[in-house]
Structure 1
Amino acid sequence: MQKKLQVEAIEHGSVIDHIPVQQGVKIIRFFNLTQTNEKITIGLNLATHTGQKKDLIKVENTFISDKQANQLALFAPHATINQIKDFKVVNKFQVQLPDSFIDVLACPNSNCISHHEPVDTRFYVKKKSTLKLKCHYCEKTFDHLFFSELD
């Protein structure tokens, strides 16, 4: 049986693979990928070799930084980043959830001081398996779903 590409190959850039279904569009918004002049290809609800579904994002002429890869873990903790040069994968790595996030997310607690003072938000990862984050300032712990809906 011949393999068929579901999403067009790119010559240079990054491929974010193994994104959970319905997270691809959130990642596009979170990283403002619609604000670039580079070609963005997004595949939603693509079939995997195991018969499950996934999302996929390809960004031409752009390489995902380590910091961005770590931020991706909020949406896709098992995502893989492929760096492409001349249509070949030259580097492949899995996102790693950092121990903390600084100035990446807004605290869902509207009474948190981070909404009223000029401070960088800071969250600590309290639980990796189901991703729970604790705010440095109000000390409240939140499920990752609170954050995945933020723009």
Structure 2
Amino acid sequence: MEKKKIKELKVSAIEHGTVIDHIPSNAVFQVIRILKLERFQNMVLFATNLESKKYGTKGIIKVSNKFFAAEELNKIALVAPHASVIEIHDYQVQSKTIVETPDRIKGIVKCFNPNCVTNHEEVAAVFSVIDKENTRLKCHYCEKITTRETMEFR
């Protein structure tokens, strides 16, 4: 019996924009939320649970006609510490970088301490990153430690 060739579907290329690759499959929607891509008017393509030799599965996001500042992209390192960011111009790769966890996080993560002032007042939660490898954040106001497991995004 002859094996049929299975055609692989690929996500279309973008002419100008940003590709975020190597996102953990379970973090794609968090990355979309962190970057506020649900508000973006141009084409946003995403896929999750794609096969990855290095990670088993991965996610990818392509954003047409949008280039991000490093500060914006580094926020996603909280949920996608090994994500790569690729800038595309005229269908060609112009640059490729790996996200880096910033030293300070403001306004995107909620403090898990119910008594923290940030959960009762109109104050943005601010965290110092005390462990980049294991994602441990210390609240500026109540000094409680938030981990990847207790992290909740605004």
Give the SS at the match of 2:58: strand
Alignment partner for residue 132 of structure 1, among 127, 130, 136? 136
Larger Rg: 2
Task: Give the gaps of 5 or more residues in structure 1.
Answer: none
Which residue of 1 is the match for residue 5 of structure 2? Answer: none
5 Å matches for 1:2-151?
Answer: 6-50=10-54, 52-147=56-151, 149-151=152-154
Q: Which amino acid aligns with 1:103?
A: G
How far the C-alpha of 1:60 sits from its partner, in A, is 0.3
Task: Give the gaps of 5 or more residues in structure 2.
Answer: 1-7
> Relative to 1, partners in 2 of residues 1:50 and 1:115: Cα closer, same or farther, differing over 3 Å?
closer
How far the C-alpha of 1:5 sits from its partner, in A, is 6.2
Q: Which amino acid aligns with 1:120?
A: A
Equivalent pair of 1:6/1:46 in contact (CA under 8 Å): no
- State which drifts further: 82-91 or 21-30: 21-30
Give the SS at the match of 1:69: helix
Deviation >6 Å, runs of 4+: none
How far the C-alpha of 1:76 sits from its partner, in A, is 0.2
Give the TM-score taking structure 2 as reference length: 0.87
Identity %: 39
Q: Which amino acid aligns with 1:16?
A: I
Give the TM-score taking structure 1 as reference length: 0.88
How far the C-alpha of 1:51 sits from its partner, in A, is 7.1
Q: Give aligned pairs, total.
A: 148
